[in-house]
Chains A and B, each alone.
Chain A
Amino acid sequence: MLQTDRPQNQNLMKIEAPVDGPWREATRLFMRNPSAIAGLVLLGFVLLVAIAGPWVMGADPFEIRAAPLTAPFSEEAILGTDYLGRDVLTTLVYGGRATLLVGAIAAILSVSIGITLGAMAGYYGGRVDAVLMRITEFFQVLPALLFAMVVVTLFSPSLVTITLAIGVVSWTGTARLTRAEFMKYRNLEFVRAERSIGASHARIIWQVILPNALPPLIVSATLAIGAAILFEAGLSFLGLGDPNQMSWGLMIGSNRQYIFSGWWAVAFPGAAIFVTVLGVSLIGDGLNDSLNPKLRER
């Protein structure tokens, strides 16, 4: 009898084991997803180079190092030099800082505006919703790139104006997503129950509904970083980047006429953008899979 008792007890132990909360469960699923891990590794590598690289190199990215358009893998410059003779590796490492910083801050800005306006519109509904959605539509129908170009040229291109411009033109998608999530949750019983224990509207918006609505918003925020990096590169390519601040877009933009005689000065920053955005997208995809219960079964 004792022998048969044992496995039963073990089974009980399994059932009794504490079940993780939804966040820990999502983390576990994320860590099991190979493409998400690949994304983490890619982005981690890029971040490491951008943060630590300049210290290690300790050089000025604008400094002329060798003859213009020196081929890569040579003694003077590992990744070659650009049309002015600046070292591509050095500019690449320094440029990463500006690109990533602009991408991250612009994404934070865009997501903050989007969540705030979307939450208000979705939660209060009625007139508040109508007004906020008309504003959102106004920004949606503006050609984003054109609008950002106008903003940047009006206020002289600098990292700050570029970041603001990107943030201001790209929040509409997040706002609509947040609004939909809030509309879904605002009439649910637990939100009404929260009202019935005396919680304020602000508390319900930020501490009750937002944590529930967060999963799709996290995914959208991650993808917003990728979009902001591309946007920054696009602006710089068009010559609207900060000329005093090396960035990947600026490198591509200033070297574009020499693409046939010196492909490396364009290809390497292009590859850097590609790797970064790919990493961010893979992470976003992995988050989507782990945070969305409907996709978990796959």
Chain B
Amino acid sequence: MTQPLLKVENLQVEFNSRRGKAMVLNGVNIEVQPGETLCVVGESGCGKSMTALALLRLIPSPPGKISGGRVLFHGEDLLTASEERMRQVRGNRISMIFQEPMTSLNPVFTVGDQIGESLRLHAGLNASEARTQAIAMLKQVGIPAPERRVDEYPHQLSGGMRQRVMIAIALACQPDILIADEPTTALDVTVQAQIFDLLRELQREKGTAILLITHDMGAVAEMADRVMVMYAGRIIEQGTAEQVLERPAHPYTQGLINCLPELGSSLQSERAELAEIEGMVPSIWELDKACAFRERCTHALEKCAQEAPPMFTLTHSSDTAPHMTACWLQLQQTTDQGQAA
């Protein structure tokens, strides 16, 4: 394998408050290869967005604090880099788009100003060069009449157009990695598909790696090369999109996939009850050392309440890439198979 573009090792983020200390991220390991799309999936509050913010050191502090680990970008540890250096990286080498296109743009500046801003900050362009480049970017993200739109204000654009503008801002400096934090959650379905198409197209052209954060399994199926499933601040399963979607190993991943309603079947027969994962994500204040999913897990073993399961590689005959999970049940089955063979 080539050297990963981004390598996150044992990332830990804690929140401090009057109630004490809580681990929001607990030993997260991520590798992003150049040009690939890695999806991070999980329910609300599982630490997806925190992971994204931590990579750019943008965790609101207080109360948040990165308490351990390394974020190696091209081999350079961003967690020990100076604030000055971080500003050079943000928006230039690693950029980010947010969930809410309606509020992510500054209402008092034109979209041209805002696209041009990162070019002026990082590429040192002057105002007129930045404007020309902003028009070119608007064109690339598929906004009609870019020469006119460039002078418009955010309130004059629709949600989908604003998200396109956000993408234009994020990609203006041709970053190596684009972190997209639920980029389509606030948009309706047809626009979602357009935005995903656009991201894929731009990725092909520029070779940008995409770290897509989502709770939407449909988006995962559509976009992902590799998938990571997060639960309560830990990564509990990872593998290629095919492995995770077709042979989910962790009971939580299985639950997530079962929750997807099937459009066809529910119309034909009587509407089947929607599947759900019983219970709630445990509060970050209640986490202990054991498996965080055990309370909601239908297969929970005794061991699950005693110790957190380690990450291990599943052995499946057709696997060409490692498919890993952290679950006692799977570990037991795998070792049983190994002994039998």
Task: Give chain A's interface residues, CB within 8 Å of chain B.
Answer: 18-19, 21-23, 126, 187-190, 192-200, 208, 211-212
Which applies to chain B's interface (DSSP): helix, strand, loop or mixed? loop
Write out the residue numbers on chain A whose beta carbons fall within 8 Å of the beta carbon of B117: 197, 199
Query: Is B108 close to A, CB under 8 A?
Result: yes
Known pairs A19-B153, A189-B98; A196 contacts B56 (CB<8 A) = yes
Say which one of B22-30, B87-95, B132-140, B205-213 lies at the interface with A: B87-95
Nearest chain B CB to A222 CB, angstrom units: 19
Q: How far is the CA of A190 from the CA of B109 in the complex (A)?
A: 11
Q: Which residues in chain B, 96-152, are within 8 Å of chain A measured between CB atoms?
A: 96, 98-100, 103-110, 117-118, 121-122, 148, 151-152
Q: How far is the CA of A193 from the CA of B104 in the complex (A)?
A: 6
Please tell me if the beta carbons of A189 and B100 are within 8 angstroms of each other in the complex.
yes
Please tell me if the beta carbons of A197 and B118 are within 8 angstroms of each other in the complex.
yes
Query: Is B223 close to A, CB under 8 A?
Result: no
Which applies to chain A's interface (DSSP): helix, strand, loop or mixed? helix
Nearest chain B CB to A197 CB, angstrom units: 3
Q: Which residues in chain B, 58-111, are within 8 Å of chain A measured between CB atoms?
A: 58, 60, 62, 86-92, 95-96, 98-100, 103-110
Nearest chain B CB to A218 CB, angstrom units: 13
Please tell me if the beta carbons of A193 and B166 are within 8 angstroms of each other in the complex.
yes
Q: How far is the CA of A192 from the CA of B108 in the complex (A)?
A: 16
Query: A211: which of B89, B95, B104, B109 is its contact (CB, 8 Å)?
Result: B109
Write out the residue numbers on chain B whose beta carbons fall within 8 Å of the beta carbon of A198: 86-92, 118, 121-122
Please tell me if the beta carbons of B62 and A196 are within 8 angstroms of each other in the complex.
no
Please tell me if the beta carbons of A22 and B95 are within 8 angstroms of each other in the complex.
no
Query: Given A19-B152, A211-B106, A212-B108, list of 7 further CB < 8 A pairs?
Result: A18-B148, A22-B108, A22-B153, A190-B103, A197-B92, A198-B122, A212-B106
Query: Is B194 close to A, CB under 8 A?
Result: no
Write out the residue numbers on chain B whose beta carbons fall within 8 Å of the beta carbon of A189: 98-100, 103-104
Q: How far is the CA of A23 from the CA of B107 in the complex (A)?
A: 11
Query: B151: which of A18, A23, A200 is its contact (CB, 8 Å)?
Result: A18
Task: Give chain B's interface residues, CB within 8 Å of chain A.
Answer: 56, 58, 60, 62, 86-92, 95-96, 98-100, 103-110, 117-118, 121-122, 148, 151-153, 156, 166, 169-170
Please tell me if the beta carbons of A193 and B107 are within 8 angstroms of each other in the complex.
no
Nearest chain B CB to A290 CB, angstrom units: 15
Write out the residue numbers on chain A whose beta carbons fall within 8 Å of the beta carbon of B110: 21
Known pairs A18-B151, A189-B98; A195 contacts B166 (CB<8 A) = no
Nearest to B121 among chain A residues (CB) is A198
Q: How far is the CA of A278 from the CA of B153 in the complex (A)?
A: 35
Known pairs A19-B156, A22-B153, A192-B58; A197 contacts B107 (CB<8 A) = no
Q: How far is the CA of A194 from the CA of B118 in the complex (A)?
A: 9
Known pairs A126-B62, A190-B104; A197 contacts B95 (CB<8 A) = yes
Known pairs A21-B153, A195-B58; A190 contacts B105 (CB<8 A) = yes
Query: B107: which of A22, A192, A194 is its contact (CB, 8 Å)?
Result: A22
Nearest chain A CB to B122 CB, angstrom units: 7
Write out the residue numbers on chain B whose beta carbons fall within 8 Å of the beta carbon of A21: 108, 110, 153
Q: How far is the CA of A177 from the CA of B120 in the complex (A)?
A: 32
Top 3 A-B residue pairs of the complex, sorted by shortest distance between their CB atoms:
A197-B91, A198-B90, A198-B91
Nearest to A19 among chain B residues (CB) is B156
Please tell me if the beta carbons of A212 and B89 are within 8 angstroms of each other in the complex.
no
Nearest to A186 among chain B residues (CB) is B60
Write out the residue numbers on chain A whose beta carbons fall within 8 Å of the beta carbon of B90: 195-198
Q: How far is the CA of A200 from the CA of B120 in the complex (A)?
A: 13
Q: How far is the CA of A19 from the CA of B153 in the complex (A)?
A: 9
Nearest to B99 among chain A residues (CB) is A189
Q: How far is the CA of A187 from the CA of B110 in the complex (A)?
A: 21
Nearest to B92 among chain A residues (CB) is A198
Write out the residue numbers on chain A whose beta carbons fall within 8 Å of the beta carbon of B56: 196
